[in-house]
Structure 1
Amino acid sequence: MADIAEYIEALKNSEQLGGLVVHHEILKGREAETASCRRPWPVSVERLLDFRGITSLYTHQARAMDLLRSGQNVVVSTPTASGKTLIYNLPVIEHVLSDPDAHALYLFPLKALAQDQLRSFQELVAPWGGDNRPEAQIYDGDTTQWFRKKIRENPPHVLMSNPEMLHLSMLPYHERWAAFWAGLTHVVLDEVHTYRGVLGSHMAQVLRRLRRVCARYGSNPTFAFLSATVGNPQELTHQLTGLDVKAVTEAGSPQGQRHFLFVNPAMTMTESPSKTAIMLLKAALARKMRTIVYCQSRRMTELLSMWVSEHAGEYRDRISAYRAGFLPEERREIEARMSSGELLAVVSTSALELGIDIGNLDLCILVGYPGTIMSTLQRGGRVGRAQQESAVVLVAGEDQLDQYFMKHPTDFFTRPAEKAVLDPYNPVILQRHLICAAAELPLRTGEPWLREPAVAEQVKALEFSGQLLESADGRDIYASRKRPHRDVSLRGSSRTFEILTGADSLLKKDAKPHSIGSIDEHRAYTETYPGAVYLHRGKTYLIETLNLEQGFVHARPAKLNYYTRVRSEKSTEILSISGVRAAHGCRVFQGRLRVTQEVKGFEKRRIRGGKLMTVVPLDLPPLTFETDGLWIEFPREIQRRAEDEFLHFMGGIHAIEHAAIGILPLIVMTDRNDLGGISIPFHEQVGAAAVFIYDGIPGGVGLARQAFQHAPELIDSTLSVIEGCDCELGCPSCVHSPKCGSGNRPIDKFAAISLLRAISSAPEPESGALSLSAAQEALGQHHESVHHEQPSQPEEQSMSDASRPARFAVLDLETRRSADEVGGWHRADCMGISCVCVYYSDRDETLSYSQDEVEALVEDLQRSSLIIGFNIKRFDYKVLTGHSAFDFSSLNTLDILEHVHRTLGYRLSLDHLAQATLGAAKSANGLLALKWWKEGRITEIIDYCKQDVAVTRDLYLYGLQHKHLLFTNKAKQAVRLPVNWDKLPG
Structure 2
Amino acid sequence: MVSNTEWIDLTDDRIRSIREIPARAAEFVEAFPLTSFAQNAVHSIGIEKLYSHQASAIEAARRGENVVTVTGTASGKSICYHVPVLESLADGNNTAIYLFPTKALAQDQLRGVKRLLDTDPARAKSIVCGTYDGDTSQHARRKLRTHGNLILTNPDMLHAGILPNHAGWARFFENLRYVIVDEIHAYRGIFGSNVGNVFRRLRRIATHYGASPQFLCSSATIANPAELAERILGEPVTVVDRDGSPRGMKRFLLWNPPKFDPNSSERRSANIEAKNLMVQFVLQGIPTIVFARSRITAELIYRYAREDLLMKHKKLADKIAVYRGGYLPKDRREIERRLFEGDLLGVTSTNALELGIDVGSLGVSILVGFPGTIASTWQQAGRAGRTEEESMSILITYNDPIDQYLARHPAYFFDQTPENAIVDSENPYILARHLACAAHELPIEESEDVELFGANMAPVLDAMEEHEKVMRLKDKWYWSSTDYPAAEVSLRNMADATFTITEIFPNGQEKERTIGTVDAISAPELLYPEAIYLHDGETYFVRELDLDQRVAYVERREVDYYTQAIVESTIRLGKGIAEAEVPDGKKMLAQATVSWMTVAFKKIQFQNMDSIGWGKLDLPSQELETVAMGLHVEGRIVGRLADESLRISEGLAGLRNLLLVVAPLFAMCDRSNLGGVVESSNTGVPTLFLYDRYPFGLGYSEKCFHILDEILHACLELVGDCPCDDGCPSCVGMPRQPVLHHDPDTALGIPMPDKRATKRLLEMLGEESGAPAESGVAPASATSGVAPDPGEDRGDREQRA
CA deviations on 1:384-431 (whole Å, 9 max, x unpaired) are: 222222211112222332222111110001111122212111222221
What SS class does the counterpart of residue 219 from structure 1 fall into?
coil
Which ranges of structure 2 fall in alignment gaps of 5 or more residues? 262-266, 779-801
Assess if the C-alpha contact under 8 Å between 1:498 and 1:515 holds in 2.
no
Separation of aligned partners in 2, 1:590 and 1:301: 42
What SS class does the counterpart of residue 134 from structure 2 fall into?
coil
Instruction: Kindly indicate whether residue 251 of structure 2 is the aligned counterpart of residue 259 of structure 1.
Output: yes
- Counting only pairs closer than 5 Å after superposition, residues 660-699 of structure 1 correspond to structure 2 as 660-680=659-679, 684=683, 689-699=686-696
Q: 1:338 to 1:740 in 2, by over 3 A?
A: closer
What SS class does the counterpart of residue 599 from structure 1 fall into?
strand
Assess if the C-alpha contact under 8 Å between 2:572 and 2:682 holds in 1.
no
What SS class does the counterpart of residue 171 from structure 1 fall into?
helix
Assess if the C-alpha contact under 8 Å between 1:318 and 1:345 holds in 2.
no
Separation of aligned partners in 2, 1:53 and 1:565: 52
Separation of aligned partners in 1, 2:290 and 2:307: 13
| Structure 1 position 194, deviation (Å) | 1.4
What SS class does the counterpart of residue 267 from structure 1 fall into?
coil
Which residue does the alignment assign to 2:303? 303
Which residue does the alignment assign to 1:658? 657
| Structure 1 position 279, deviation (Å) | 3.1
Instruction: Answer with 121-130 or 64-73: which moved more.
Output: 121-130
What SS class does the counterpart of residue 10 from structure 2 fall into?
helix
What SS class does the counterpart of residue 173 from structure 1 fall into?
helix
Instruction: Kindly indicate whether residue 127 of structure 2 is the aligned counterpart of residue 150 of structure 1.
Output: no
Assess if the C-alpha contact under 8 Å between 2:504 and 2:555 holds in 1.
no
Q: 1:651 to 1:610 in 2, by over 3 A?
A: farther
Q: 1:253 to 1:469 in 2, by over 3 A?
A: same
Q: 1:717 to 1:160 in 2, by over 3 A?
A: same
Which amino acid is the alignment partner of residue 458 of structure 1?
V
Which amino acid is the alignment partner of residue 351 of structure 2?
S
Assess if the C-alpha contact under 8 Å between 1:531 and 1:543 holds in 2.
yes
Separation of aligned partners in 1, 2:756 and 2:400: 19
Separation of aligned partners in 1, 2:21 and 2:504: 56
Separation of aligned partners in 1, 2:730 and 2:130: 48
- Counting only pairs closer than 5 Å after superposition, residues 578-589 of structure 1 correspond to structure 2 as 578=578, 580=580, 585=583, 589=587
Which amino acid is the alignment partner of residue 376 of structure 1?
T
* Match for residue 291 of structure 1 among 288, 293, 305: 288
CA deviations on 1:481-518 (whole Å, 9 max, x unpaired) are: 2412222112223452534646799xxxxxx9986665
Q: 1:121 to 1:500 in 2, by over 3 A?
A: closer
Which residue does the alignment assign to 1:456? 458
Assess if the C-alpha contact under 8 Å between 1:301 and 1:349 holds in 2.
no
Separation of aligned partners in 2, 1:439 and 1:240: 22
Assess if the C-alpha contact under 8 Å between 1:445 and 1:477 holds in 2.
no
Assess if the C-alpha contact under 8 Å between 1:496 and 1:518 holds in 2.
no
Which residue does the alignment assign to 2:446? 445
Which residue does the alignment assign to 1:904? none
Separation of aligned partners in 1, 2:275 and 2:354: 20
- Counting only pairs closer than 5 Å after superposition, residues 132-147 of structure 1 correspond to structure 2 as 134-147=127-140
* Match for residue 280 of structure 1 among 277, 280, 295: 277
Which amino acid is the alignment partner of residue 721 of structure 2?
G
- Counting only pairs closer than 5 Å after superposition, residues 678-827 of structure 1 correspond to structure 2 as 678-680=677-679, 684=683, 689-735=686-732, 736-742=734-740, 745-746=749-750, 747-764=753-770, 770-772=773-775
- Counting only pairs closer than 5 Å after superposition, residues 564-603 of structure 1 correspond to structure 2 as 564-578=564-578, 580=580, 585=583, 589=587, 591-599=589-597, 601-603=599-601
Instruction: Kindly indicate whether residue 234 of structure 2 is the aligned counterpart of residue 242 of structure 1.
Output: yes
Assess if the C-alpha contact under 8 Å between 1:322 and 1:331 holds in 2.
no
- Counting only pairs closer than 5 Å after superposition, residues 490-505 of structure 1 correspond to structure 2 as 490-499=491-500, 501=502
Which amino acid is the alignment partner of residue 447 of structure 1?
E
TM-score, L = length of structure 1: 0.71
Assess if the C-alpha contact under 8 Å between 2:578 and 2:776 holds in 1.
no
Separation of aligned partners in 2, 1:66 and 1:718: 46
Q: 1:281 to 1:298 in 2, by over 3 A?
A: closer
| Structure 1 position 619, deviation (Å) | 6.8
Assess if the C-alpha contact under 8 Å between 1:2 and 1:288 holds in 2.
no
What SS class does the counterpart of residue 718 from structure 1 fall into?
helix
With a CA cutoff of 8 Å and minimum separation of 6, indicate the structure with the bigger relative contact order: 2
What SS class does the counterpart of residue 81 from structure 1 fall into?
coil
Separation of aligned partners in 1, 2:565 and 2:322: 28
Assess if the C-alpha contact under 8 Å between 1:111 and 1:140 holds in 2.
yes
* Match for residue 95 of structure 2 among 81, 103, 109: 103
Which residue does the alignment assign to 1:632? 631
| Structure 1 position 333, deviation (Å) | 4.4
Q: 1:574 to 1:77 in 2, by over 3 A?
A: farther
Separation of aligned partners in 2, 1:166 and 1:729: 54
Q: 1:159 to 1:407 in 2, by over 3 A?
A: same
Instruction: Kindly indicate whether residue 69 of structure 2 is the aligned counterpart of residue 67 of structure 1.
Output: no
Which amino acid is the alignment partner of residue 369 of structure 1?
F
Which amino acid is the alignment partner of residue 653 of structure 2?
H
Separation of aligned partners in 2, 1:6 and 1:615: 48
Assess if the C-alpha contact under 8 Å between 1:588 and 1:711 holds in 2.
no
Q: 1:728 to 1:542 in 2, by over 3 A?
A: farther
Separation of aligned partners in 2, 1:527 and 1:318: 28
Which residue does the alignment assign to 1:812? none
Separation of aligned partners in 1, 2:581 and 2:69: 35
| Structure 1 position 263, deviation (Å) | 1.0
Instruction: Kindly indicate whether residue 214 of structure 2 is the aligned counterpart of residue 215 of structure 1.
Output: no
Which amino acid is the alignment partner of residue 565 of structure 1?
A
| Structure 1 position 592, deviation (Å) | 3.1
Percent same amino acid among aligned pairs?
A: 33
Q: 1:247 to 1:376 in 2, by over 3 A?
A: same
Separation of aligned partners in 2, 1:74 and 1:21: 41
Instruction: Answer with 116-125 or 102-111: which moved more.
Output: 116-125
| Structure 1 position 137, deviation (Å) | 0.9
Separation of aligned partners in 2, 1:207 and 1:539: 41
Assess if the C-alpha contact under 8 Å between 1:527 and 1:566 holds in 2.
no
Separation of aligned partners in 2, 1:604 and 1:265: 24
What SS class does the counterpart of residue 89 from structure 2 fall into?
helix
What SS class does the counterpart of residue 88 from structure 1 fall into?
helix
| Structure 1 position 262, deviation (Å) | 0.9
Instruction: Answer with 734-743 or 390-399: which moved more.
Output: 734-743
Which amino acid is the alignment partner of residue 625 of structure 2?
E
Instruction: Kindly indicate whether residue 644 of structure 2 is the aligned counterpart of residue 645 of structure 1.
Output: yes
Separation of aligned partners in 2, 1:525 and 1:399: 25
Separation of aligned partners in 1, 2:533 and 2:231: 36
| Structure 1 position 105, deviation (Å) | 0.6
Which residue does the alignment assign to 1:31? 25
Assess if the C-alpha contact under 8 Å between 1:650 and 1:681 holds in 2.
no
| Structure 1 position 773, deviation (Å) | 6.1
Assess if the C-alpha contact under 8 Å between 2:503 and 2:556 holds in 1.
no
- Counting only pairs closer than 5 Å after superposition, residues 337-352 of structure 1 correspond to structure 2 as 337-352=338-353
Assess if the C-alpha contact under 8 Å between 2:577 and 2:776 holds in 1.
no
Which residue does the alignment assign to 2:423? 422
Separation of aligned partners in 1, 2:215 and 2:632: 44
Instruction: Kindly indicate whether residue 195 of structure 2 is the aligned counterpart of residue 192 of structure 1.
Output: no
CA deviations on 1:124-150 (whole Å, 9 max, x unpaired) are: 232214245644211112212222222
Separation of aligned partners in 2, 1:597 and 1:482: 29
Which amino acid is the alignment partner of residue 717 of structure 2?
S
Assess if the C-alpha contact under 8 Å between 1:421 and 1:669 holds in 2.
yes
CA deviations on 1:837-893 (whole Å, 9 max, x unpaired) are: xxxxxxxxxxxxxxxxxxxxxxxxxxxxxxxxxxxxxxxxxxxxxxxxxxxxxxxxx
Which amino acid is the alignment partner of residue 486 of structure 1?
A
Which residue does the alignment assign to 1:782? none
What SS class does the counterpart of residue 202 from structure 2 fall into?
helix
Assess if the C-alpha contact under 8 Å between 1:397 and 1:403 holds in 2.
yes
Which residue does the alignment assign to 1:22? 16
Which residue does the alignment assign to 1:46? 39
Q: 1:271 to 1:316 in 2, by over 3 A?
A: same
| Structure 1 position 521, deviation (Å) | 4.9
Aligned length in residues: 750
- Counting only pairs closer than 5 Å after superposition, residues 840-851 of structure 1 correspond to structure 2 as none
